């Protein structure tokens, strides 16, 4: 993917659309051939978002940890639902991770039990120290809303946004207003959303905890280019930009 400033600025337009329950999106449901599900908030579900930086030449060794860990997760009704291999940092400052994992658990108690599983602890001992240079992550919960969740696959290009919203009432209002207006526009341009997550805890202090984490995929760069030139979207940018203190936006390919 080319990294021109023009293209990057257009890609960023898709980051903050959350509770898109517009009629346009509902019409899209009828025409979309992908696995489209009505996603209602699972209040107890926990999604662990982990960023891994692997040691040189250890990708295959780490793959064993990922594969065996996924089998262990099944014992707890959990799973690694998505793995993204980043290809570029499109916005913000962050060392490019090797892999980003999204592991979902029925509840926090399940995650805590898995973390103490003897087999998992043995896997960590055998593979993490030898394969991982550094890592950080966030325990997250689902955003408190209903939305149409679309499920992509390994053929799609993914975007991952760490969103930092200013901590004041006006910024929260501006952010909410942007959502409402943009949600009536975005479905026209082939953007699809898998997860909207609220971090509640972090693993370490390597990075500041964001306000929200968004995971999405899109149909084509051409669709994003058209959206970038849309006058309706252009008028929304100042409100969106004023509501944020920081943004880290990662582009990558799904490998699971």
Give the pLDDT of the chain (256 residues) as one tens digit per residue.
444 434 444 444 444 433 343 333 333 433 343 333 333 346 789 999 999 999 999 998 899 888 899 999 999 999 999 999 999 999 999 999 999 999 999 999 999 999 999 999 998 888 888 899 999 999 999 987 656 678 888 888 899 999 999 999 999 888 878 877 876 787 788 888 889 899 999 988 899 999 999 998 888 778 777 877 889 988 888 888 889 999 999 999 999 9
What is the secondary structure of 162-202 as a DSSP string?
Answer: EEEE-SSHHHHHHHHHHHHHHTTTGGGGTEEEEEEEEEEEE
Q: Which residue shows structure tokens 């400033």?
A: 5
Q: Following DSSP, what letter does each residue of 133-160 receive, concatenated? A: EEEEEEEEEE-SS-EEEEE--TTSEEEE
Token code pair at residue 134: 């550094």
pLDDT at 18: 37
CA distance linking residue 192 with residue 62, whole number of Å:
29
DSSP symbol at 127 = I
Confidence (pLDDT) at 21: 37
The answer as to CATH 3.30.70.100 being correct for domain 5-254 is: yes
Look at residue 23 in the predicted model and tell me its pLDDT.
34
- Among 93, 102, 240, smallest CA distance to 175 is for 240
d(CA 227, CA 234): 9
Supply the pLDDT for residue 147. Answer: 60
- Residue 28: CB atoms within 10 Å: 18
pLDDT of residue 42: 63
For residue 185, give Cα distances in angstroms to 24, 178, 199, 233, 237.
Answer: 8, 11, 27, 8, 13
Give the model's pLDDT for residue 6.
42
Per-residue pLDDT, 31: 38
What pLDDT sits at residue 248? 96
Look up the pTM and report it.
0.82
Q: Where are the domains positioned within the chain?
A: 5-254
């Amino acid at each position: 993917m080319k990294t021109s400033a023009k293209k990057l600025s257009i890609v960023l337009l898709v980051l903050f659309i959350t509770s898109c329950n517009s009629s346009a999106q509902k019409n899209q449901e009828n025409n979309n051939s992908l696995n489209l599900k009505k996603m209602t908030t699972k209040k107890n579900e926990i999604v662990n978002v982990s960023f891994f930086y692997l040691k040189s030449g250890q990708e295959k060794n780490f793959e064993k940890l990922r594969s065996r860990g996924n089998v262990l997760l099944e014992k707890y009704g959990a799973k690694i639902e998505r793995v993204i291999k980043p290809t570029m940092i499109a916005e913000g400052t962050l060392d490019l991770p090797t892999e980003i994992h999204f592991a979902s658990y029925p509840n926090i108690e399940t995650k805590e039990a898995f973390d103490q599983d003897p087999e998992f602890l043995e896997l960590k001992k055998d593979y993490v120290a030898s394969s991982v240079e550094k890592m950080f992550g966030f325990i997250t919960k689902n955003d408190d809303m209903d939305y149409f969740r679309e499920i992509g696959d390994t053929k799609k290009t993914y975007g991952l946004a760490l969103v930092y919203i200013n901590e004041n009432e006006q910024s929260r209002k501006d952010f909410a207003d942007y959502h409402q207006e943009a949600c009536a526009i975005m479905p026209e341009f082939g953007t699809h959303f898998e997860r909207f997550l609220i971090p509640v805890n972090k693993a370490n202090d390597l990075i500041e905890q964001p306000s929200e984490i968004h995971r999405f995929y899109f149909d084509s760069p051409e669709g994003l280019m058209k959206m970038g030139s849309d006058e309706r979207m252009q008028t929304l940018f100042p409100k969106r930009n004023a509501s944020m203190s920081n943004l880290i936006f990662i582009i990558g390919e799904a490998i699971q």
